[in-house]
Amino acid sequence: MANLNLAVCSMMITTLAFTLFTTCDANNNKDDNPKLHIVYMGSLPETTNSYSPTSHHLNLLQRVLDGSSNPANSLVRSYKRSFNGFAAMLTNEQVAKLAEMEDVVSVFPSMTFQTQTTRSWDFLGFPKAVKRQPKSIESNLVVGVLDSGIWPESESFNDKVTGPVPEKWKGTCAGGKNFTCNKKLIGARFYVDDSARDGQGHGSHTASIAAGNYVDNVGFFGIAQGTARGAVPSARIAAYRICNAQGCAGAGILAAFDDAIDDGVDIISISVGTSFALPLAEDPIAIGAFHAMAKGILVSQSAGNNGPITASVSSIAPWLITVAANTIDRQIIDKVVLGNGNVLTGSSINTFKSNGMNIPIALINGNSTNCMDEFADQCKCLDKKLVEGKIVLCDTYNTGVPKDSGAAGAVVNEDTGNVGYVTLMPFVALPPKDYELIKSYRNSTKDPRAEILKSESARDRNAPKVATFSGRGPNSYISEILKPDVSAPGVDILAAYSPISTPTEDLVNDNRSVSYSILSGTSMSCPHVSGIATYVKSFHPDWSPAAIKSAILTSATPMVRSSVHDVGEYAYGSGQANPVQALNPGLVYDINKGDYVQMLCNSGYDNATVKLISGEVNPCKGAADRSLVRNLNYPTFAARVLPNVTFNISFGRTVTNVGLANSTYKVTITPNPEVKITVTPTILSFKALNENKWFVVNVSGKVPRKSVVISSIVWSDGTHNVRSPIVIDVSSGDQE
Ligand SMILES: *[C@@H]1O[C@H](CO)[C@@H](O)[C@H](O)[C@H]1NC(C)=O
Ligand SMILES: *[C@@H]1O[C@H](CO)[C@@H](O)[C@H](O)[C@H]1NC(C)=O
Ligand SMILES: *[C@@H]1O[C@H](CO)[C@@H](O)[C@H](O)[C@H]1NC(C)=O
Ligand SMILES: *[C@@H]1O[C@H](CO)[C@@H](O)[C@H](O)[C@H]1NC(C)=O
Ligand SMILES: *[C@@H]1O[C@H](CO)[C@@H](O)[C@H](O)[C@H]1NC(C)=O
Ligand SMILES: *[C@@H]1O[C@H](CO)[C@@H](O)[C@H](O)[C@H]1NC(C)=O
Ligand SMILES: *[C@@H]1O[C@H](CO)[C@@H](O)[C@H](O)[C@H]1NC(C)=O
Ligand SMILES: *[C@@H]1O[C@H](CO)[C@@H](O)[C@H](O)[C@H]1NC(C)=O
Ligand SMILES: *[C@@H]1O[C@H](CO)[C@@H](O)[C@H](O)[C@H]1NC(C)=O
């Protein structure tokens, strides 16, 4: 049995518009009130004639409850359409008993996950006029979006140009009261509140990035005006509402996977996660995605927003595609004009027109009996008398207090890394160097004044750069699997929104209602890749989830590091996704369910546990061998070794020819002086489509210090360049 992790933590939506924090109270055993737990039982039996999952669930519960309680009162959800398990209110003692049972893979708390455009597609080299399959083909595909619901009346989801619902669709429109689907939005279900209607805006935003209609002439109060569009405007959307303003319960996330897989979605997009990685058997998204993969459905998940610290990527399962966020060439800037005529440029999404008003800058924030000077300088406490009607300077990023104290505007000290946040008032974040300039200007005159202009678009020649917030590798649990996998735009993205939310999601202080809004986060990059995967699938309907993922990874555009402190590949994986190239990758690294199952065996899960997960008898071929995990046919190469220890590691791979029948690929190695890399053989000659060829990459050496050694190989036939990074993490504490 997997270890029980009894920590109670909260998980999150991966947009930065949300306050992102995690509370993790180490569970103390003295408090043994029943809490919501998930009991994961793996695959459903192949023949379900005589098997009733719910009675099995009730029976297991009966065995751990004392005789007097009715198990039906503890059972919260049964998972029975696509995999097996249930959610129930359980005490620690009951958890321990259930975890010992042979039918059970894992028991873990149902944490609260939190949820974590348009120019972006042109930036990816994916213009409106891109080559597409006929509508009749693209419109057969369904993107399942697990998020905060959807605004069904949005122009992004109307069905003016959509044909009849695909016959294969088994889902339903159960969105609650006053919720109507159409031929574009063909399915809706909810697992929180009483409707699939999006109260936050996040779910409408992500769904429209993946598969929204083309909607011309939209913008955010004139900022970022243009055409909003998804990758696959003819594809269908099914919305599964798992999140509300409080977050997204693990038990509901798993229920949405259970439904979406059986409803018949083709791709799942989930911009939700934790602030830290979880073990595979205790992560509802990894579990749901495994069963999706087994049914041929690729799941795309956000990398998380806890960058740039090391190992902050929270999506780690090899069968998922994990998406980092990068900037695009359209940046949103905001200017502040000082009384002396100097202009400073910062970041914010400030919709407020200044009308040429030159407003006094508050000379001091402090000198109040109410607020300590230190808090006043940081705008954590401001005295109305001193700042009302003036612009305040704040040494740290703060918005609420300046607004509440009646300030006319705020200039804050913060390098947001080009990310603009929608603000409640005239507001600009200046990087420290420029913030010093406005402070010294304030010191230099008796009557300092400034004007904060409305935000505007500007060109960012440094794009794409991975956003500071984007979750970084390495993978905390499976060092052989490089995460994140790939990057996509996730900074200042304009897309559909919920008019009952507000652009800041502050329903008290913000009274703006919008149909399109600007958000940043790996939440926004994830649906770009979900859309690209759907686009690839429209051309290659028979490709496995791993083949689609391989096509996206090996054709990605290499990126450069954002800062000297960053290990590039831990920020962006293979690089920035390139939708047009991904259609025609030449070779793919395919992986089937059996390969993933063997990886689970090699990484330490025993036969009995893997049997439950995979539904196969005797799933593990031979004894567990950790060194074979790196032979999973992943399209990138990663390993962890010790410093000062000679290593000699070997990666076995198989590529499948999906390019030209008659083709010869030669390998090019980008050398790194720290290690020796060999590829055997160096030439692969194919005679037919779908032919497989095997090769080995060996990496050996001895690296004297902790570091990350990067290199790559490219297989090329002159037309297709099939690129894979190699990342050797030289650090302490691993199995090498
Ligand atoms: C249904 O929802 C729409 C969109 O919020 C709203 O305009 C309409 O008034 C609602 N109708 C009813 C009957 O509640
Ligand atoms: C601070 O307050 C004191 C008394 O309240 C006043 O005498 C002094 O001038 C104030 N200082 C500034 C810089 O406003
Ligand atoms: C502004 O003046 C204050 C008080 O004299 C001083 O402490 C501070 O260093 C000055 N700041 C700048 C940026 O000149
Ligand atoms: C929103 O509030 C502002 C003042 O805070 C007011 O000027 C404006 O008219 C309000 N807008 C709406 C749509 O109520
Ligand atoms: C699984 O069972 C087989 C056959 O009994 C055995 O050879 C193998 O060592 C087992 N593997 C694991 C990982 O438990
Ligand atoms: C790595 O090990 C293999 C055999 O295990 C050997 O053939 C090869 O020469 C070694 N390579 C290096 C560079 O030591
Ligand atoms: C493949 O190439 C070989 C020689 O390089 C040629 O004889 C053969 O006809 C080609 N086959 C096809 C299907 O083009
Ligand atoms: C690569 O490593 C494998 C396994 O250690 C070994 O059998 C093989 O000889 C090595 N090849 C080269 C070229 O070093
Ligand atoms: C590796 O060995 C060298 C030489 O003995 C030593 O200077 C260095 O500190 C060692 N590095 C680590 C990470 O232990």
* Catalytic residue list contains 523: yes
Residue 195 burial (C-beta neighbours within 10 Å; 0-12, 13-18, 19+): middle
What average pLDDT does range 60-73 have in this prediction? 89
CB-based pocket (< 6 A), ligand 7 = 661-662
Token pair, residue 66, equals 């004392």
Ligand 3 atom 3: residue of nearest CA: 443
What type of residue is 286? A
Quick one: pLDDT at residue 733?
Answer: 54
What average pLDDT does range 555-565 have in this prediction? 85
Over the chain, what is the mean pLDDT? Answer: 91
Return the ligand 9 atom nearest residue 705 CA.
13
What average pLDDT does range 73-94 have in this prediction? 96
Please give the distance, rounded to the nearest whole angstrom, from the Cα atom of residue 648 to the centre of ligand 9. 19
Query: Percentages helix, strand, coil for the chain, rounded to the nearest 5?
Result: 20, 30, 50
Quick one: pLDDT at residue 174?
Answer: 98
8 band by pLDDT with thresholds 50, 70 and 90: very low
CB-based pocket (< 6 A), ligand 2 = 364, 367
| Integer Cα distance of 108 and 274 in angstroms | 14
**What burial letters (b/e) apply to 616-642, b meaning 16+ CB within 10 Å?**
beebbeeebeeebbbbbbbbbbbbbbb
What average pLDDT does range 250-264 have in this prediction? 98
Quick one: pLDDT at residue 17?
Answer: 37
21 band by pLDDT with thresholds 50, 70 and 90: very low
Q: Does 69 have pLDDT greater than 90? A: no
Give the tens place of pLDDT for each residue, 169-179: 999 999 999 99
Three-class SS of residue 475?
coil
Quick one: pLDDT at residue 67?
Answer: 78
Return the ligand 7 atom nearest residue 662 CA.
1
Give DSSP secondary structure letters for 102-165.
Answer: TT-SEEEE--EEEE---HHHHHTT--TT-----HHHHTT-EEEEEES-B-TTSGGG--TT--SP
From 57, 110, 156, 202, active-site residue: 202
Give the tens place of pLDDT for each residue, 331-367: 999 999 999 999 999 999 999 988 677 788 887 777 7
What average pLDDT does range 645-653 have in this prediction? 97
Give the tens place of pLDDT for each residue, 687-702: 999 999 999 999 999 9
Query: Does 650 sit in the ligand 6 pocket, CB within 6 Å?
Result: no
Q: Does 564 have pLDDT greater than 70? A: no
Closest ligand to residue 646's CA: 6
Ligand 8 atom 3: residue of nearest CA: 650
Sign of CA dihedral 563, 564, 567, 573: positive
Quick one: pLDDT at residue 117?
Answer: 42
Query: Does 366 sit in the ligand 3 pocket, CB within 6 Å?
Result: no
* Catalytic residue list contains 147: yes
Query: Does 617 sit in the ligand 5 pocket, CB within 6 Å?
Result: no
pTM metric for this prediction:
0.92
Query: Does 601 sit in the ligand 5 pocket, CB within 6 Å?
Result: yes
Token pair, residue 407, equals 């300030």
Q: Which of 411, 439, 441 to mutate to test the pocket of ligand 3 (most atoms within 8 A of CB)?
A: 439
Residue 422 DSSP label: B
Pairing of strands 243-244, 247-249: antiparallel
Quick one: pLDDT at residue 28?
Answer: 42
Q: Which of 628, 646, 649, 650 to mutate to test the pocket of ligand 8 (most atoms within 8 A of CB)?
A: 650
Please give the distance, rounded to the nearest whole angstrom, from the Cα atom of residue 151 to the centre of ligand 1. 11
Quick one: pLDDT at residue 579?
Answer: 97
| Integer Cα distance of 407 and 522 in angstroms | 32
Query: Does 436 sit in the ligand 3 pocket, CB within 6 Å?
Result: yes
Query: Does 439 sit in the ligand 3 pocket, CB within 6 Å?
Result: yes
| Integer Cα distance of 591 and 491 in angstroms | 32
Please give the distance, rounded to the nearest whole angstrom, from the Cα atom of residue 698 to the centre of ligand 6. 8
| Integer Cα distance of 261 and 82 in angstroms | 6
From 147, 283, 395, 566, active-site residue: 147
Quick one: pLDDT at residue 5?
Answer: 28
| Integer Cα distance of 139 and 599 in angstroms | 35
Contact assessment for residue 595 and residue 481, using Cβ atoms and an 8 Å cutoff: no
Query: Does 700 sit in the ligand 6 pocket, CB within 6 Å?
Result: yes
From 148, 315, 368, 523, active-site residue: 523
* Catalytic residue list contains 625: no
